[in-house]
Each structure stands twice: as C-alpha cells, then as structure tokens.
C-alpha cells in the first residue's frame, strides 16, 4: 500500500515536470543593447524585479476568450516589483523564449498605451494594437514553414522594432505565439513587458487598429479554429486579430 502510494505520487510529480518541460515562454529581452530579465514563472513573485507582468504557467491558453489572454494572467493581477525599460521609438526589441517545442502557427507582437503607469493597468482594459505579425511563410498548412518555426530556428527569439513614429509614453509590448498543431484546439501563449517609449513621434493608432484582449479572437476565426491536417494543400492562413498598425 505504501509503495503504491509513493509510486502514484512519483507519477504525479513526473507528469508535472513533463508539463513544465513541454512549453515555455519569454524569459529574457534584449532592448537596444540592454538585457532585461522576464518574470520567472513557478518561482515566488516575492522579490522578483522585472519589466514583465507576472505570469505563472507554461501551459497554453486554449480558449480564445479566456480572461487571461492579455498577459497570461488575469488582467487585474498587477503582480509586484514591476520595472519598465526605457526605449526610444524605433529601437529593436528581441524577445527570447527559454525553450520552444512547437513550430506550427503565427507569431504576433502587440503594444498598448497604458495612458499613465503600466504597473497599475488592468491589461484586459487596454486598447491593443499589432506592430508585427507573421504566419505561414511558405508551403502548405501542415508541411510549410511557419513564423513559429523561424522563431525556433533563430535561437527561440523574435526581433521587432518599436514603430519609429509612435508617440512617447508608457506602453506594454506583448509577444504572442498561437500554436495550431492540434486540430481545432488553438494554444495561445502571451507575455507582456513594460516600456517607457521616448522620442519625438506623434502617431497613435486609430480605433480600427485597436482591440481588447480577450475580445479580438473567437472560435469562429478561420486561423483560430483550424485543422491544418484536413487541408493539406491549402497555402493561405489568416492570422487572427486586427491588421498591423502601419505607423504614420
């Protein structure tokens, strides 16, 4: 009886380790030439000092309307110890995933103005706009090259520029991977970091580019609820959410 119980406990523990090993997230940023640590999930938030909004799990968000969709945690969970990276508009931002096992699906990068301090912002209330997206680069849905595969091939990293025309202020930058290797079961993996954008830009996105998260996606989007294996010759993929803001 004792042995059986401890064996069961070991299986539970191994399963948890396997879950943790199965996915990953953004744990590091290079902004300009400065490196910033992200939040370390599975560690206590106490004492963590990071530009990233707290998030607590490597597991996917599987519902496009999940309340945690904005920054991988309830939008009203403000975390603690938040710092911001000061960055000139136009600067290059590279996000590094600690590990990434999936290669099928789009990569999207959003920003949102906090209209003041990002540290006190409910991220579900913000107006998000896309600054970059990439989906199916070449080939057909199940066999082609995806942006996510390029991310994996590129040291699990993705590089984006802050739009050079963007008006200064406090913003979140949000990196999101949408893994679609499981038929009709999307997996969203977002992480957010706080920026203080500087410069002389004056541009801000108009309402057609602004969305709430959750709010922008649904299971009726062709790129969200998709069975890529059922469409082996299709060579187009519709990335969900708004159009990319073109700047000014």
Q: Which residues bind ligand NAG (CB under 6 A)?
A: 28, 96, 155, 222-223, 226, 234, 236-238
Whole-number Å distance between alpha carbons of 51 and 71:
13
Residue 237 touches which member of Cu ion, ligand NAG, none, C-beta under 5-8 Å by kind = ligand NAG
Q: Where does this chain touch Cu ion (CB under 5 A) — which range of 2-10, 22-30, 126-134, 166-174? A: 22-30
Q: What are the angstrom distances between the C-alpha of 177 and each of 80, 122, 187, 194, 240? A: 25, 21, 8, 18, 11
- Residue 58 as a binder of Cu ion (CB under 5 A): the answer is no
- Residue 23 as a binder of Cu ion (CB under 5 A): the answer is yes
Contact at 8 Å (CB) between 203 and 77? Answer: no
Nearer to Cu ion, 23 or 130 (CB): 23
Nearer to ligand NAG, 86 or 235 (CB): 235
In the complex, least distance from residue 75 CB atom to ligand NAG, rounded to whole angstroms: 27
Residue 23 touches which member of Cu ion, ligand NAG, none, C-beta under 5-8 Å by kind = Cu ion
Nearer to ligand NAG, 77 or 187 (CB): 187
Instruction: Tell me which residues in 143-162 interact with Cu ion (CB under 5 A).
Output: none
In the complex, least distance from residue 162 CB atom to Cu ion, rounded to whole angstroms: 28
Q: What is the 3-state secondary structure of 61-119?
A: ECCCCCCCCCCCCCCCCCCCCECCEEEECCCEEEEEECCCCCCCCCEEEEEEECCCCCC
Reference 160, options 93, 88, 112; nearest CA is 93
What tokens were used for 248? 């000014």
Residues in touch with Cu ion (CB under 5 A): 22-23
């Amino acid at each position: 009886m004792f042995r059986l119980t401890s064996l069961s406990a070991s299986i539970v523990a191994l399963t948890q380790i396997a879950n943790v090993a199965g996915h990953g997230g953004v744990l590091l940023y290079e902004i300009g030439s400065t490196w910033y640590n992200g939040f370390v999930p599975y560690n206590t938030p106490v004492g963590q000092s990071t530009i990233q909004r707290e998030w607590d799990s490597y597991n996917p968000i599987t519902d496009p309307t999940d309340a945690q969709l904005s920054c991988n945690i309830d939008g009203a969970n403000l975390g603690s110890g938040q710092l911001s990276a000061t960055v000139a508009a136009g600067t290059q931002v590279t996000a590094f995933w600690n590990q990434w096992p999936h290669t099928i699906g789009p990569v999207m990068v959003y920003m949102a103005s906090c209209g003041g301090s990002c540290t006190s912002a409910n991220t579900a209330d913000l107006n998000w706009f896309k600054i970059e997206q990439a989906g199916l680069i070449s080939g057909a849905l199940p066999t082609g090259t995806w942006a996510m595969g390029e991310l994996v091939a590129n040291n699990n990293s993705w590089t984006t520029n802050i739009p050079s025309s963007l008006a200064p202020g406090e913003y979140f930058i949000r990196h999101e991977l949408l893994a679609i290797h499981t038929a009709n079961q999307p997996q969203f993996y977002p992480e957010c970091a706080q920026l203080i954008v500087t410069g002389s830009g004056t541009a801000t996105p108009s309402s057609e580019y602004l969305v709430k998260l959750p709010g922008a996606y649904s299971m009726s989007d062709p790129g969200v609820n998709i069975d890529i294996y059922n469409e082996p010759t299709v060579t187009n993929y519709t990335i969900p959410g708004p159009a990319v803001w073109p700047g000014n």
